[in-house]
Structure 1
Amino acid sequence: MTEFCIKIYRFFRNHRAVFWVSMIALYAFFGYFASKIYLEEDINKLMPSSKNEDGTTKLAFANLRIKDKTFLLFEGKNGASVEHITEICDAFIDSLESRNAAMDSTQQVIGNIFYRLPDDLMLDVIDYMSAHLPAYIDTSVYTRLDAMLTYPHMKLQMKANHDDLLSPVGSMFPELIQMDPVGLRGLLMEQMKPFTEGAAGSYKTLNGHFFVQDSTVCVVFITPMYSATNTGQGSTLFRILNDQIEQFSASAPDVKISYHGTPASGFYNSWRIKSDLKGTIIGSLVLVLIFISICFRNYNTIPLLLLPVVFGTLFGLAAMYFIKGHFSLLALGIGAIVLGVALSYVLHIITHYKYISDPEQVLRDQVKPVCLGCLTTIGSFMGLIFIRTELLQDFGLFAAFAIVGTTFFSLVFLPQFLNPRKNKLNHRAFAIIDRINAYPFDRKKPLLFTILATAVVCIGFYIAGGTQFDADMHNLGYKAESTSYSENLLRSKTHTGDKQKYFASSGATMEEAIENFEIMAAKLDSLQNIGLVKSYTHTNQIFVPLHVQQERIDAWKNFWTGERLQLVHDLINKTAPEAGLIPNAFSPFFEFATADYEPDALYEASIIPEGYQST
């Protein structure tokens, strides 16, 4: 290898045109393809890849849209009324939707804004439940319902029916009471309690908007067009939000607007990482170059140091382009530490040249150690490709190729720039370094004893528990002050201080996913029983598998026999007049009890608002 590099050196020295053409051509070639690579900012690359062929593990991090929600909060200050808060909310959302609509269709960043219930939602829900209610009644209800078909209960229920008809909801939708003289709605509310408490128990609707229980904060749910883990696309959305918040803060100071969510955290994390890396790299590079300029006293040393590293970076990016076509920007940021490693190989050659001023002798002395160092470093980085985390795999590949490119340039092209006639050396600066290197540390027993004692103390401190590792991934990233305020505000207002985790069931079809959720719900129930899970949203209360719906419909038909219907008829005739009600007013119940029902997929009924389906 040494002789081969020397032959190349002699060839280029005698054929300068070939040297310049080949170097510039390689620079242009790798630079062109490096510029073609797509840099993505998906923090999902940090997560382990799925072992399953169906990709179910990735579903929770990549395809589950609930994690993509951004919570936009409108907090009333100084006693701001609900009407004023909703007015500001409507104006803010109208402006946000206008700005999003004004963008090119390929550049739009907002998929859906869910901030109020449709005006006709209640009517649609009543119509749907009237046509499919038996499919949503658990079979365990019928034992209690049978016990309710008595005169004492019906007497009390008729009085409750009378009061309900006079209530605002009853006056608007009297058919709800007329279809249910027995009080089945009470049993249903109890059955749905696990769902309502988990999904909406912390919110209420005022003027059609979503408010926390104390009516001081209005909540809006924004679903972006992109995944929450793609922080690159998210930057536009949060720049727009920040701009509008600043404008509305000036015009409506009594309503504080804030936001949080996984997309916001990802955006600020990415911004902080890029900002910190930029400052760190520039600062460290300036310090290194200043130190090298003082030691070497040659200003042309700086480009000699940078040329191989730049070549190695372009070579690494071009290699990633040919292998994958895209590259994680976060991996590139982490890969910036490779520049320090690559720079060390260049320094090996330049520093040795400064002492002997003979490029050919430099190659004889440095080819083997540099190549061996390169191989061991490449081996270390290539070990990352066996980790099932795409970001670290990208980093390992890029780092390995960058080291290869830097080493290749240092041994093939760099010697041609070494001119013995212009070689200068700051002997005073290097004398200090030489003196330190020549110091016999191994012969100083007090120093060795001090180092050993310090190591023992540190190990003992670690074993005794003095050092602890933070296993909470929520503390992994940067938390912006504004998003932390918003998150803590909503948590305090909705008494959800516990950490929330997302569980997802998947399937080839929506129906299969719903069936799989039944299995997962049973496991969550067992975890809740042993105290590992405090509560969870019982989605299976509204998304019921079709075969379960058929079982419930059959149970409904079997329950309402002719004898029971006659019993209810007689009880209504006795108790309704006592409560000041007309018995015939409850005739819709008998049509409801004897109607034919078929299983129906709620997710295909176009009733659930689009913004709620992934909330």
Structure 2
Amino acid sequence: MVSLFMLVIIIIGSAFFASQLKLSEDITKILPDTEKINNMNFVYSNSKFLDKVVFNISFADTTINNPEQLADFADKFIDSLNSKFVPGLIQSIDLAPGQEEMLSVYDAVYNNLPVFLSEEDYKIIDTIITADNIQKSIASDYSTLMSPVSFITKKLIAKDPLYFTPIALKKFSAFNIGNNFQVFGRYFISDNHRNLIILITPVSTNKTASNNILFDGIDDIIANLTLVDFKDIRVDYFGNAVVALGNANQIKKDIIITITIAMLVLILVITLFFRSKRTFLIVFLPVVFGALVSLAMLFILKKEVSAISLAIGSVLLGISVDYALHIYSHFRQHQSKKLIFKNLSTPIILSSLTTASAFLSLYFINSEALNDLGLFAAISILSAAIFSLIVLPHLLGSKKEVASEHKPNWIDKLANYNFSGNGYLKSGIIITTIILYFAAQHVGFDADMMKNNYMSDELKQVEKRLNAVTNLSKKTIYIVSPGKNIDDALENNTLTSTIINKLTNEQIIQTAAVVNNIFPSQSQQEEAIIRWNKYWENKRETVIKDVAKAAVSTGFSNKAFNNFNTWLVRDFSTITPANAGIIQQLFLDKFIIETDTMSAIINVVKVGSNEEDINKVYDAFAEEDAMWIIDKRLITSEFVTILKDNFNKLIIISLSFVFIILLIAYGRIELTIITMIPMIFSWIWTVGIMGLLGIEFNIFNVIILTFIFGLGIDYSIFIMRGLLMEYKYGIHDISSYKVSVILSGITTLLGIGVLIFAAHPALRSIATMSIIGILSVVFITLTLLPAIFSWLVTYKNGLRNRPVTLLDYIFSLWALFVFITGSLFLSAISIILYIVPIPKAAKKTFIHKLFRYLTWFMIYMNFLSGKKIINPNNEDYRNPAIIIANHQSHIDLMLM
């Protein structure tokens, strides 16, 4: 009763603490804690415009062009967004600047024009200020003013009759939607009046739960608006948040469908095998208990864990079912709870320790999510094992009930088959392993995580339509220049802008929004002002006179352009982002990051899908420490590279943990080694088959390898237990261990292998690896392990006097090597002596002595074996004698 009370307390307490655990949906937690990834997190956490969602409002009939209707729809759409989702789920909605804002930008540029002009711009000014072109410009101004134009236009002409300001203003167009768009009211509309673009920034790209609510709500708004009043309108939207949500939803959908299928099949298989309806529920109790305890421990230790680690870990928890299956299958066979503890307590504890240690080896990978995964899986497995041994036996049926249910089936028949006695199977495994070992050398790491992204056909069409009208959905790379403060960042961005402009001129970069092109650093501004003053030093008076002359000849008064004259002779000074006014508000604010510890400038470049061009952009900035390349694809590629570098370390650590645990448990290195052989062989098979099928490692299937590693050890431990029981006590019960291994393999294969039917490529990758690995590990364990164990303890005439030890084996191999080498050496010496001109008797004596020394060395080199010479007659073999040897020993002939 006390035990039951304690169990209830543990379950209730675990459930309570587990419910308090916070889940982080930040996908970046799976990435390692490196400088580049920390830089990316800094930019994504502080940027005001990254990961925007682009809305393309257009007509379903592409021949219609009605900007008023598009704008009317956009008005109602934005009103709905503002009322429902701002500020809770939408951070900002970006529209086109209004007329007043554009005039303010014009004034800001006009009043500080020198700082916005590059050296190349003066070549344009050279053509503008020729006497003929001044005359043409003033005449054009006069014609414009004579037509019905606004007061604002008249004001602009008076200030800048030669249109110097538009030279600088053109640079701001790179920060707009695109060259083929114009401002229509407060919106950006394409030149053909068929597409209207709106940008929104979700509060968080990585929080799929909140984004699911957001985009479901947006879909409802669009559906309601297009139901009656705007039937011809089509709204597409695309962005990282949309793709991330699509991935998350597809994974959920796939998992729900596949788990449903798997559960139904597992219920059928387990129920039919054990012939008990309640068995299925009881079998999964250790899994539930292990998960609860693990979540509770995670709360106590960490308070918050990565959601993705729990998602992957929940898939791997299937290994915990094995312990219940082993217990049930043994009870089914023997109907004795005492035998369960006697036969299974050691292998279950040993299995849980080795598997947990394999998962804990993930702690040696520099990734918070993988660390969480390792801890979650390890605690779950240990808890499930303890529950299986202590609680589960009390839930088993009566002997009579189980005995009536126990009827042999095809699994029993398969378990009774002597795989290890089939020479063809054993030879096939050895040959296949050798072949697959070389095939495994060709398996690479797929650094492009984007291949494991899922995009529905509908979303692909949306991206295609958006690419047709704008470059907003094209491949975007952010080049960031950090600094101690804004001016330091702008100074660092000088070189960045030079490289970007060079790549743009080479057409590697399609378009680029470079901050220094519209707002230079302080030193650049100072140089620009000096350049301006030097340029106008000998030209200013001439231009003023030419403008006045052209004005009078065209019909203006001689004072019409006094403002221009005053502006041309004024002194200009540098500006900072803080006093840049409207330029800061509309442009710089989105591309500048300011924190207490660091500032940064963000430049946005667009490239095509050409792999070569993308890599050229990466390479151009790779060696520059003062520049950060912020691109999720590059970051994930680096993670996979790090994972690849740590992969061998992960294997060595896992093997070391398992080796030490098995060595302590068995006390014999021979048993430890042969227990690990099936796992190593199955690993080679899995990776080798990957090589033959052209499958590469990625971030997902590497984790599954750890799972297969654990399964291989588990199965070997249980089969080894059956073999040892038979060898020690003569209990022929190996078939019951085989049954539980086969049943475990079937249930695991069904549980995870069913993911092969998933639509998401990452889940299919997991399933493919699982199917290959599970089939390999079951087949090799059932075939190879009993065969090797049998070789250790038996020979053709029965049991050995003592089992083969590792030292015996090493010295046997060493003796064979010495014998073959010595034989070849003596043969070579004999051939050489044949042509040497010395007496034949001397040759024979020399050969005999060499042969004697070789045989003496072969006998005495095994210093671990004791040697006792029995010679009662003190025979020294100087006199001729007949010696008879019946070759009962391998060394009798060598002794003679």
Match of 2:543? 568
Any conservation in 2 of the 1:37–1:326 contact (CA below 8 Å)?
A: yes
**Aligned equivalent of 2:497, options 517, 521, 542:** 521
Any conservation in 1 of the 2:289–2:383 contact (CA below 8 Å)?
A: yes
Q: How far off its partner does 1:377 sit?
A: 1.7
AA matched with 2:183: T
**Aligned equivalent of 1:536, options 473, 492, 512:** 512
CA distance in 2, matches of 1:229, 1:585: 58
Match of 2:564? 589
Deviations 1:34-79 (A, max 9, x none): 00011232333344433269x3132344444433311122112332
Deviations 1:232-254 (A, max 9, x none): 22122112101111112212111
AA matched with 2:107: D
Moved more, 576-585 or 118-127: 576-585
Q: How far off its partner does 1:313 sit?
A: 0.4
- 1:71 equivalent to 2:54? Answer yes
Deviations 1:141-185 (A, max 9, x none): 446646754434433443444456568888633333333344434
Number of residue-to-residue matches in the alignment: 587
Q: How far off its partner does 1:187 sit?
A: 4.2
Q: How far off its partner does 1:272 sit?
A: 1.7
Change (3 A) 1:523 1:204: same
Match of 1:369? 347
Match of 1:13? none
Any conservation in 2 of the 1:59–1:504 contact (CA below 8 Å)?
A: no
Change (3 A) 1:434 1:543: same
AA matched with 1:222: I
AA matched with 2:522: L
Deviations 1:381-436 (A, max 9, x none): 22323333333332222112211221222233333334544651577764422321
Change (3 A) 1:405 1:343: same
Change (3 A) 1:91 1:579: same
Any conservation in 1 of the 2:110–2:165 contact (CA below 8 Å)?
A: no
AA matched with 1:68: D
**Aligned equivalent of 1:323, options 296, 301, 325:** 301
CA distance in 2, matches of 1:370, 1:611: 65
**Aligned equivalent of 1:84, options 69, 81, 86:** 69
Look up the SS of the partner of 1:517 in the other structure.
helix
AA matched with 1:71: V
Any conservation in 2 of the 1:67–1:262 contact (CA below 8 Å)?
A: no
Match of 1:6? none
Q: How far off its partner does 1:218 sit?
A: 0.6
CA distance in 1, matches of 2:218, 2:436: 49
Match of 1:267? 245
Change (3 A) 1:82 1:336: same
- 1:231 equivalent to 2:199? Answer no
Match of 1:113? 93
Change (3 A) 1:526 1:593: closer
**Aligned equivalent of 2:81, options 96, 100, 108:** 96
Moved more, 37-46 or 78-87: 37-46
AA matched with 1:250: L
TM-score calculated relative to the size of structure 2? 0.60
Q: How does 1:50-69 map to 2 (within 5 A)?
A: 50-51=34-35, 55-69=38-52
**Aligned equivalent of 2:265, options 278, 282, 287:** 287
Moved more, 243-252 or 62-71: 62-71
Match of 1:23? 7
- 1:49 equivalent to 2:49? Answer no
CA distance in 2, matches of 1:497, 1:82: 22
- 1:250 equivalent to 2:227? Answer yes
AA matched with 1:254: D
- 1:174 equivalent to 2:158? Answer no
Any conservation in 2 of the 1:137–1:188 contact (CA below 8 Å)?
A: yes
AA matched with 2:159: M
CA distance in 2, matches of 1:118, 1:88: 18
CA distance in 1, matches of 2:329, 2:97: 72
CA distance in 2, matches of 1:460, 1:171: 81
Any conservation in 2 of the 1:50–1:57 contact (CA below 8 Å)?
A: no
- 1:349 equivalent to 2:305? Answer no
Q: How does 1:316-465 map to 2 (within 5 A)?
A: 316-418=294-396, 420-421=398-399, 423-425=401-403, 430-444=408-422
AA matched with 1:556: W
CA distance in 1, matches of 2:561, 2:407: 102
CA distance in 1, matches of 2:218, 2:473: 26
Change (3 A) 1:49 1:540: same
CA distance in 2, matches of 1:459, 1:581: 90
Match of 1:5? none
Change (3 A) 1:603 1:266: farther
When the two chains are superposed, the root-mean-square deviation of aligned CA atoms in Å is 3.4
CA distance in 2, matches of 1:52, 1:259: 30
- 1:550 equivalent to 2:530? Answer no
Change (3 A) 1:318 1:147: same
AA matched with 2:450: H
AA matched with 1:85: L
Change (3 A) 1:59 1:163: farther
Change (3 A) 1:472 1:531: farther
Moved more, 131-140 or 58-67: 58-67
- 1:492 equivalent to 2:468? Answer yes
Change (3 A) 1:381 1:532: farther
Q: How far off its partner does 1:337 sit?
A: 1.6
Give the unaligned 5+ runs of structure 2.
592-896
Change (3 A) 1:74 1:453: farther
Deviations 1:329-370 (A, max 9, x none): 332222222221111122222222322233333222222222
**Aligned equivalent of 1:137, options 110, 117, 120:** 117
AA matched with 1:601: T
CA distance in 1, matches of 2:473, 2:376: 42
Match of 2:640? none
CA distance in 2, matches of 1:371, 1:606: 70
Look up the SS of the partner of 1:215 in the other structure.
coil
Deviations 1:287-342 (A, max 9, x none): 22332222222334233322211111011111221232122333222222222111
- 1:501 equivalent to 2:477? Answer yes
Look up the SS of the partner of 1:259 in the other structure.
strand
**Aligned equivalent of 2:184, options 206, 218, 222:** 206
Moved more, 446-455 or 55-64: 446-455
TM-score calculated relative to the size of structure 1? 0.85
Give me the identity figure in percent.
Answer: 26
Give the unaligned 5+ runs of structure 1.
1-16
> Which protein, 1 or 2, shows the higher relative CO under an 8 Å CA cutoff with sep ≥ 6?
1
Q: How does 1:154-193 map to 2 (within 5 A)?
A: 154-162=134-142, 165=145, 172-185=152-165, 187-188=167-168, 192=171
Match of 2:217? 240
Deviations 1:256-306 (A, max 9, x none): 122111111122221221222223223323322332222222334233322
Moved more, 526-535 or 516-525: 526-535
Deviations 1:189-241 (A, max 9, x none): 67x28x638863242222331123332111111112x2212212212211210
CA distance in 2, matches of 1:515, 1:317: 49
Change (3 A) 1:606 1:307: farther
AA matched with 1:338: L
Larger Rg over CA atoms: 2
